[in-house]
Structure 1
Amino acid sequence: MDCFYAAVEMRDNPTLRNIPIAIGGSSDRRGVIATCNYPARKFGVRSAMASAYALKLCPNLKLIKGRMSVYQEESQKIRAIFADYTDLIEPLSLDEAYLDVTGTSLFQGSATRIAEEIRYRIANELNLTASAGVAPCKFVAKVASDENKPDGLCVITPDKLDDFVKAMPLKKIPGVGEVTVQKLGHLGLHTCADVRAYPMTEIQKRFGKFGQVIWDRAHGIDERPVQTNRIRKSVGVERTLSEDIHTIEDCDGVIDKLYTTLQERLVAHQQKHNGGRPPNIRTLGVKLKFSDFQLTSAEHRYPSVHRSAFKPLLQEAYQRANGRGIRLVGLQVGLAEKDENKQLELPFEA
């Protein structure tokens, strides 16, 4: 979907259509932008940006509090449209999904015509716009879906796949973040063509298991199937603070409050996604964001979820503050595959 939350707000309130708007928290409460419309993007406003900074870039930006229940309802309508064309649907979020239409006979099996029809129906039935990428594999389809936004379609046929991937900047590969881009850049690697000319063993040596992923993507290889039942890998909770805090004791106090919410979310996950069975716990982690917006985290394996385990994790993460204030504190529980660890009992240890 194109700027999904903002698009819903503009549809429901046409006076917002031609002005810069963003969905996000209040700037005086350390809010963060969830998404913004295209007029706002012209000023450099982006998702995950602090609302206060977004207002500096665009003083006329109108901040709107999100209506999550409305977005969820619209997402369900979109999914219902998808389901008319295939049962193989892998949602990535409320506004994005992979569809495998390999086996369909609709439109003589043309994935391009199916994508066009889906976009047409979303526009006419929901008065929203969507962009689509059509390709033989998942990661290329995802990259292609961004090529002609907003309200666009990009088709990469099998005979065009190799040329498209070769010219692709490495930063466009899903999962390749800023830190990895910098490390690759230091090696003189900027495009997939550069990686192809680099020894595979060196890529693997420098980037571990993810090095194989980079190498495969640079060669247009992505054999992952569309997963109709995605396995949740973590449960977490975090809080952006209205003012920076400056001591480890203050951070620990925030963790006290977050821990209660974490318990609730894990119980909800157990009931909704795990058939009422206790989840398999793999790791526990603490995340901190400093006053300069740099993120750090400390994560280790633990056999169960208990409050005391987060204390040494906090100490490890806080050592990296180096005098900086803390603007965000988060907790995370990594979930194991069903047979990776034994199932652990809830409720939690104190």
Structure 2
Amino acid sequence: MDAFYASVEQRDDPALRGRPVAVGGSRERGVVAAASYEARRYGVRSAMPSVTARRQCPELVFVKPRFDVYREVSLQIRSIFADYTELIQPLSLDEAYLDVTRPLRDLGSATAIAEEIRARILSQTRLTASAGVSYNKFLAKLASDHRKPDGLFVITPSLGPAFVESLPVSRFHGVGPVTAAKMERLGIRTGLDLRQRSLATLVQQFGKSGPHYHAIARGQDERPVMPGQPRKSIGAEQTFERDITGWDDAQTALQPAIDKVWATYARVGRPARTVTLKLKFSDFRIISRATSYGTGIIARAEIEDAAFRLLRGVFPFQMSVRLLGVSVSRFDDERAAAAPVLEDLFSLAAAGGR
């Protein structure tokens, strides 16, 4: 979906149409969960602290999220998907993979199916969706972003390798800012640069992710569409240019990971109960510590408080720290119970989607 949360708000409130809108946070506190395309022209993005977004766009309108409405629209969209295939893998409320190799409604091509799905979404929800059509998940994801908003792009088997080689690696789904920066330092700027590295070299430089990078640089991705597989955790971590030893530095360094986890957590729409802290020391030894709440997490402050309590439990550090990460897990399977909990997420957020 195109700027899903913000587009729903603009659909339902004519006064917001054509204006830069941020869902989540407030003028001074919290983090942006979604930004309208008008706001994106000013550089406002999801996961951005509200105070930063306000500096970027002084005219920005902050809107409280309505997760009950977003979930209702998401269910409408998924019911459309179900007319075409049983193989649906939701990534969040506003995005999913569909395998239409053997469609329930055969229109002659995957492209024709995508066009009909987009038309039905617009007719039934008055919202626009963008679609990517390709022969694997990696390329379909790239294609879905290529003509946003309200676009459709097809990457055929003959086009796949050439399409990948021309793109910056920072555009690859699954290559985050830290990995992209490392690739940049290694002279890997495009898919072609990545393709020129041997499998052995990529494994040496990126560990278990090496084979994946080797494959996607060639337009290959064997991952199947996995229906009914809710995510089991949401995490973010950062490797530092210089190792950390002090408490204040560690607290500061952990904040971006907490912001990323919170922004994604709000989009998933299911409450989690456990917070886990991950540390990697200068000798590459990894430890983790976890704590759980009796009820689902409803505020960013709860993630932050738990992470800092866990951090305090391992301080002073045995040696300098090269990586810090945080994750949430133990999602509540009672999705219906999530509605009143998640409805007010951002109004409860401490200072800091798509």
Q: After TM superposition, is the score higher than 0.5?
A: yes
2:276 matches 1:285 = yes
CA distance in 2, matches of 1:84, 1:286: 42
2:38 matches 1:39 = yes
Among all aligned residue pairs of Structure 1 and Structure 2, give the percentage whose two residues are the same amino acid: 48
CA distance in 2, matches of 1:85, 1:24: 33
CA distance 1:247–1:120, change in 2 (3 Å): closer
- 1:198, CA displacement in angstroms? 1.7
Cα pair 2:32 2:49 within 8 Å, conserved:
yes
2:13 matches 1:13 = yes
Cα pair 1:22 1:35 within 8 Å, conserved:
yes
CA distance 1:209–1:106, change in 2 (3 Å): same
> What is the letter of the counterpart of residue 70 of structure 1?
V
In the other structure, the counterpart of 2:190 is: 191
1:279-327 per-residue CA deviation (whole Å, 9 max, x = no partner) reads: xx9xx72379xxxxxxxxx85278x96999985644447869x9xxxxx
CA distance in 1, matches of 2:217, 2:230: 26
Q: Equivalent residues in 2 for 1:301-320 (5 A)?
A: 313-316=311-314
- Structure 1 regions of 5+ residues with no counterpart? 237-244, 250-267, 271-280, 289-297, 323-328, 336-350
In the other structure, the counterpart of 1:273 is: none
In the other structure, the counterpart of 1:264 is: none
> What is the letter of the counterpart of residue 300 of structure 1?
S
Where do 4+ consecutive residues of structure 1 move more than 4 Å? Answer: 245-249, 304-313, 315-320
**Secondary structure of residue in 2 paired with 1:27:** coil
Cα pair 1:235 1:333 within 8 Å, conserved:
yes
Cα pair 2:6 2:22 within 8 Å, conserved:
yes
Deviates more, 1:123-132 or 1:193-202: 193-202
Q: Equivalent residues in 2 for 1:193-272 (5 A)?
A: 193-234=192-233
Q: Equivalent residues in 2 for 1:316-335 (5 A)?
A: 316=314, 332-333=328-329
- 1:106, CA displacement in angstroms? 3.2
1:200-220 per-residue CA deviation (whole Å, 9 max, x = no partner) reads: 211101110011111111111
Cα pair 2:6 2:36 within 8 Å, conserved:
yes
In the other structure, the counterpart of 2:24 is: 24
> What is the letter of the counterpart of residue 132 of structure 2?
G
CA-based RMSD of the aligned residues comes to 3.5
- 1:233, CA displacement in angstroms? 2.5
CA distance 1:211–1:157, change in 2 (3 Å): same
Cα pair 1:287 1:317 within 8 Å, conserved:
no
Cα pair 1:90 1:98 within 8 Å, conserved:
yes
- Structure 2 regions of 5+ residues with no counterpart? 236-246, 252-270, 280-285, 295-305, 332-354
> What is the letter of the counterpart of residue 286 of structure 1?
L
2:68 matches 1:69 = yes
Cα pair 1:286 1:317 within 8 Å, conserved:
no
> What is the letter of the counterpart of residue 50 of structure 1?
P
2:82 matches 1:94 = no
Q: 2:288 aligns with which of 283, 300, 314?
A: 300
CA distance in 2, matches of 1:122, 1:9: 16
Cα pair 2:83 2:104 within 8 Å, conserved:
no
1:46-76 per-residue CA deviation (whole Å, 9 max, x = no partner) reads: 0000111111111010000000100000000
Cα pair 1:27 1:50 within 8 Å, conserved:
no
CA distance in 1, matches of 2:167, 2:82: 31
Cα pair 1:130 1:150 within 8 Å, conserved:
yes
CA distance in 2, matches of 1:32, 1:306: 22
Query: Comparing both chains, which one has the higher relative contact order based on Cα–Cα distances under 8 Å and sequence gaps of 6 or more?
Result: 2
**Secondary structure of residue in 1 paired with 2:8:** helix
CA distance 1:299–1:95, change in 2 (3 Å): farther
CA distance in 2, matches of 1:116, 1:142: 16
CA distance in 2, matches of 1:79, 1:309: 35
Larger Rg belongs to: 1
CA distance 1:318–1:216, change in 2 (3 Å): farther
Cα pair 1:24 1:66 within 8 Å, conserved:
yes
- 1:230, CA displacement in angstroms? 1.2
In the other structure, the counterpart of 2:130 is: 131
